[in-house]
Amino acid sequence: MRVFKFGGASVKDAKGVKNLVSVLKTTGHDKTLVVVSAMGKTTNAIEVVIKNYFENKDELQSSIHDVIKFHNEILLDLFANERHQVFADVKAFFDELTMFFKSNKSPDYNYVYDQTIGFGELISTTIISHYLNEVGLKNNWLDVREYIKTDNYYRRANVDWEQTQEQISSNFNKSILNITQGFLGSDANNFTTTLGREGSDYTAAIFAYCLNANSVTIWKDVPGVLNADPRYFENAQLLHQISYREAIELAFYGASVIHPKTLQPLQRKEIPLYVKSFLNPKENGTCVSKGKAIEPEIPCFIVKKNQILISLSSLDFSYIVEENISEIFSLLHLYKMKVDVIQNSAISFSVCIDNIYDNLEKLLQHLKAKFKVTSHENVSLYTIRHYSDASIKEMEKDKTVLLKQLTKETVQIVTK
């Protein structure tokens, strides 16, 4: 039993859907579950629909029509006969979406978001399931909401593992090709929920865990996991092997590897995760599994832009002690700052943060009441895992270093 996950970039148009078929024919498709995201930028487009529902009702129907048009163009490219059942099935989903906005009475944005955002996944899998049948790959379309059960923490729901295991064990047919949606679940009242960031990858891991799958493969438009983001670093190299622990470490520091919540269920049952290219499915890609930290053993580079470095010192040159640090972290939590680096000495404390919620000025005003405060905005945070002296020198070249911190395996450098 294998689990495949295809993201939106892999099925952004008819050509992508046909390529998915090619991947399945190349790799085999028996005893396989295929988890699919919404097509292309559909999730973004439905977010515009939701925004219009709350803020600009005049544009609501127009924004829904844009989503319908996008999918109809893909349908017409894939199916010659407009009387094919897929057209009616897709229309039924769009009718349901439109009816929700007409009948909904809830003012809760998070609830409305979760009831509507998943139509992208429901429609993409419907199109793909019908097309697979059309080309001879018989499959079973599953509504993931009947299998993954969660609480009602909308937009970041927590999985009810016991109930989910029961639903999957009782109702899933392992012997055939199955198609389902990523990102979605349902609560005790059968309202739709979503699983948050990297939700489709997490869906694949949940099914793999409950099915005791042999492997999970995430199909991307890159050859696998690289040791650096090629947008910022030259000569990025493919990592053939990463341990679960190392992948979690890299994700913690900001690498776009695999989200820890995806890795955790796989690690518990030691199910290997492969990251491969949907353009070159015969290539080995990257394997995340138990074993050596990384292979080859080379430095891994991560950069986070637009960070803020705040340096604090006591007004009277007294020590920065536990009580002060506790107060500082309480304020960071209050203003929803993501902390990426901390460094302290006897009379100073520095922290590099991500101002996600735009609360910097409020935080600084609060801190200035008790500390001498210096802040540097728009700094870059560079992290090197498994660093060498040469890699550090290269990183610091032509940059002003504001903070530097080394541990056994990791160096972090904040530069201006």
Is residue 8 part of an annotated ligand binding site?
yes
Quick: pLDDT tens for 92-105: 999 999 999 999 99
Residue 242 lies in a domain: no
Same domain, 211 and 309: no
Residue 246 lies in a domain: no
In CATH, what number is assigned to the domain containing residue 50?
3.40.1160.10
Task: Write the DSSP assignment of 228-279 as a string of letters.
Answer: S-TTTSSS--B-SEEEHHHHHHHHHTT-SS--HHHHHHHHHHT--EEEEESS
pLDDT at 256: 82
> Half-sphere exposure of residue 176, counting CA atoms within 13 Å on the CB side?
14
Mean pLDDT of the 135-159 span: 98
CA–CA gap between residue 58 and residue 97 (Å, rounded):
17
Number of domains in the chain: 2
CA-closest candidate to residue 257, choices 369, 350, 383, 123? 383
Residue 54 lies in a domain: yes
Where does a domain end: 190, 220, 250? 220
**Mean pLDDT score of the chain:** 96
Is residue 185 part of an annotated ligand binding site?
no
Mean pLDDT of the 273-278 span: 97
Is residue 149 part of an annotated ligand binding site?
no
Where do we find the tokens 């079973």?
Answer: 140
Where does a domain end: 187, 220, 253? 220
Where does a domain end: 180, 198, 220? 220
Where do we find the tokens 């809830």?
Answer: 106
Where do we find the tokens 């983001």?
Answer: 229
pLDDT at 317: 86
Sign of CA dihedral 363, 367, 369, 372: negative
* pLDDT over threshold 90, residue 306: yes
Give the range of the structural domain holding residue 331, as residue numbers without chain letter: 300-415
Quick: pLDDT tens for 327-350: 999 999 999 999 999 999 999 999
Mean pLDDT of the 162-187 span: 97
Same domain, 43 and 164: yes
Is residue 27 part of an annotated ligand binding site?
no
Angstrom CA distances, 123 to 52, 117, 232, stand at 21, 11, 35
Which structure tokens are listed for 409?
């395996």
Same domain, 89 and 205: yes
Residue 97 lies in a domain: yes
pLDDT at 257: 81
CA-closest candidate to residue 162, choices 176, 148, 174, 173? 148
Of all residues in the chain, the percent with pLDDT exceeding 70 is: 100
Is residue 199 part of an annotated ligand binding site?
no
Where do we find the tokens 């604090």?
Answer: 312
* pLDDT over threshold 90, residue 28: yes
Is residue 16 part of an annotated ligand binding site?
no
To 5 degrees, how large is the angle CA 387–CA 391–CA 396?
Answer: 115
Judged on CB neighbours under 10 Å (0-12, 13-18, 19+), 386 is middle
CB of 376 closer than 8 Å to CB of 312: no
Is residue 304 part of an annotated ligand binding site?
no
Residue 133 lies in a domain: yes
Same domain, 52 and 183: yes
Structural element, H or E, at residue 339 = strand 338-344
In CATH, what number is assigned to the domain containing residue 360?
3.30.2130.10
Residue 291 lies in a domain: no
CB of 232 closer than 8 Å to CB of 254: no
Quick: pLDDT tens for 216-257: 999 999 999 999 999 999 999 999 999 999 999 998 898 888
pLDDT at 27: 97
Residue 259 pLDDT level (bands cut at 50, 70, 90): confident
Q: How many CB atoms lie within 10 A of CB 215?
A: 16
CA-closest candidate to residue 155, choices 117, 190, 194, 184? 194
